[in-house]
Every structure is written in structure tokens, then in C-alpha cells.
Structure 1
Amino acid sequence: METRRRSVVKAIVWNIIGLATMTLVGLAATGSAAIGGTLAVVNTAIGFTMYILYERLWAGIRWGRNV
């Protein structure tokens, strides 16, 4: 099982990538860097929270592990 700290670091790195991607998508979709950035920040906050919960849930499931 991985540590909570590892789960958090993985989530942060993944969400930085997602933030950059969503900013570009939002900019392309709206034509506004401010609106695109706001959409990206909201999406990142939700995604970060859900990813942490998802990782912690799976960390407690023994199925499929070579123990």
C-alpha cells in the first residue's frame, strides 16, 4: 500500500498537467484566457479531490495485488 503523501504528490503532478491542458481547451472553446483559466482551476480542484479519494479507496482494496 502506498503512503498518503505519495498519493498526494501523484495527484498534484497529475493535476498540474490537467490544469495546463484545461486552460488551453478553455481558451480554445471560449476565446478568453480568463474564462478558460477559471474553468481550468475549478476543474482541477474537483479533479484533485476526486483523485485523492479514488486513490485512497483503491489503496485499501486487496483484489488484484500480488501479496
Structure 2
Amino acid sequence: MIADQLILNKKENKTTYQDDKTSEKPIRSIAKAFSWRVIGTVDTLIISYILTGEFSVAASIASIDFVTKMILYFFHERFWNLVKWGK
């Protein structure tokens, strides 16, 4: 199974960030998370406005969405950076 291979590869190839030169730096993940969230937030703002007809409600939804999904994306990127599969 793929999950077994991912777990086994991680146990067999224990490296630190400094040892893995192909790894992305955390600041790159933050920049990618931020840029993607800007795009996603504009999308959320537009959809929320269409559904509610109120800009203030749409802006509130988009603001919460921006923060929570940027944090989730950062950790998602960092996790995938540890996975050797497909590199």
C-alpha cells in the first residue's frame, strides 16, 4: 500500500532539514500559502457576496477563511515536503 511505503520510507530515511537540500524552506511554504490564500479569499468573497447579498457578511466569511486555510495549507505543505514519494 502507498501509506505503508510512505511510513517505511520516512523511518528508513531519517534526515534533518539541513541534510535534505531538495527540501523547500519554511518561508517558501509561507509565501505559497499566502499567495494561494489571496486567490482563494477573493473567490470566497465573491461567492459569499453572491449568496448573501451583503458585503460585510461576505468580508467576514472571507477574512476567517483566509486565516484558517493559510494555516492549514502551511502544515499541509510541510507534511508533503517530508514525503519522499514522487520526488
| Same-fold call, TM cutoff 0.5 | yes
How far apart are 1:10 and its partner, in Å?
0.5
1:22 corresponds to: 44
Give ranges in structure 1 of 5+ residues lacking alignment: none
1:33 corresponds to: 55
Higher percent of residues as helix: 1
SS at match of 2:50: helix
How far apart are 1:52 and its partner, in Å?
0.3
1:44 corresponds to: 66
Q: Which ranges of 4 or more aligned residues in structure 1 deviate by more than 2 Å?
A: none
Root-mean-square deviation (CA, aligned residues, Å) is 0.7
Larger Rg belongs to: 2
**Amino acid of the structure 2 residue aligned with 1:34:** S
How far apart are 1:63 and its partner, in Å?
1.4
How far apart are 1:21 and its partner, in Å?
1.0
Which residue, 31, 44, 47 being the options, matches 1:9?
Answer: 31
Give ranges in structure 2 of 5+ residues lacking alignment: 1-22
Q: TM-score, normalised by structure 1?
A: 0.92
The sequence identity of aligned pairs, in percent, is 26
Q: State how many pairs are aligned.
A: 65
SS at match of 1:63: coil
